[in-house]
């Protein structure tokens, strides 16, 4: 399955997750409006009892209508032709703002990396970053993503391939616990949910110069 087909397959999941997030926002707005109306009531007992009902419903709305993030690990599959034989920066972003997520998911990697510093500095409270730098070589390895929030608007991957006109970015379904990414010469080959996230994978130490795992 190539990236285009894979993205097509997960559109339904992403749309469902987005609708859940928006449902939560609408739900919160409605009950907040109800709460303000109640507080203008003259009956103190009515205020107290109804306010508790609204707060209960509001907490339930948040519990069941907000998309939850499940991603715990990422595994790279590299080959000797990847990125013309040089290292490549791979950024994984967890975004906690709906509008920002919608904007970033449309960006090509070349545009993201040209604006990377500004994007991260401007949205320091809305973006959590994990950055890796695998190099070419026949190896695989899996890395844990530490510090992920349990809830978010979405997860994005940007890959800084040189001299490539491909998009080289994609969104990860929030219900994926682990993801496999196969790296090609000038673009990502495919990505998919790991079928055996606990499987022990091996790497050739001589094939790796640096792998960064920083989060902010």
pLDDT tens digits for range 141-184: 788 888 887 788 999 999 999 888 899 999 999 889 999 999 99
53 or 134: which carries more pLDDT confidence? Answer: 134
- Domains recognised in the chain with CATH numbers: 8-64 (no CATH), 68-207 (2.60.40.4150)
What's the whole-model pTM score?
A: 0.63
Task: Please enumerate in sequence order all residues whose Cβ is within 8 A of that of 157, keeping only pairs 6 or more positions apart, or say none.
Answer: 90, 91, 92, 93, 169, 170, 171, 172, 181, 191
pLDDT at 38: 52
Q: Which of 75, 114, 80 is nearest to 199 (CA)?
A: 75
Least confident of 65-69, 77-81, 160-164: 65-69
CA atoms of 20 and 17, how far apart (whole Å) = 5
pLDDT, tens digit, for every residue of 37-62?
A: 555 655 665 555 555 555 544 444 34
């Amino acid at each position: 399955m190539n990236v285009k087909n894979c993205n097509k397959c997960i559109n339904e999941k992403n749309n469902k997750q987005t609708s859940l997030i928006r449902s939560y926002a609408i739900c919160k707005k409605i009950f907040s409006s109800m709460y303000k109306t109640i507080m203008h009531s003259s009956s103190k007992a009515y205020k107290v009892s109804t306010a508790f009902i609204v707060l209960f419903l509001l907490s339930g709305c948040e519990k069941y209508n907000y998309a939850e993030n499940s991603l715990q690990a990422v595994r790279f599959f590299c080959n000797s032709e990847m990125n013309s034989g040089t290292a490549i920066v791979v950024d994984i972003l967890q975004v906690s703002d709906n509008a920002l997520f919608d904007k970033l998911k449309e960006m090509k990697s070349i545009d993201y990396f040209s604006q990377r510093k500004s994007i991260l500095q401007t949205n320091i409270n809305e973006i959590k970053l994990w950055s890796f730098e695998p190099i070419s070589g026949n190896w695989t390895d899996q890395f844990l993503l530490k510090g992920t929030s349990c809830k978010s608007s979405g997860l994005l991957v940007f890959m800084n391939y040189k001299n490539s006109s491909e998009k080289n970015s994609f969104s990860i379904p929030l219900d994926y616990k682990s993801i496999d990414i196969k790296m090609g010469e000038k673009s990502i080959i495919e990505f998919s949910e790991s079928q055996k996230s606990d499987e022990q994978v091996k790497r050739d130490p001589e094939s790796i110069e640096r792998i960064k795992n920083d989060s902010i």
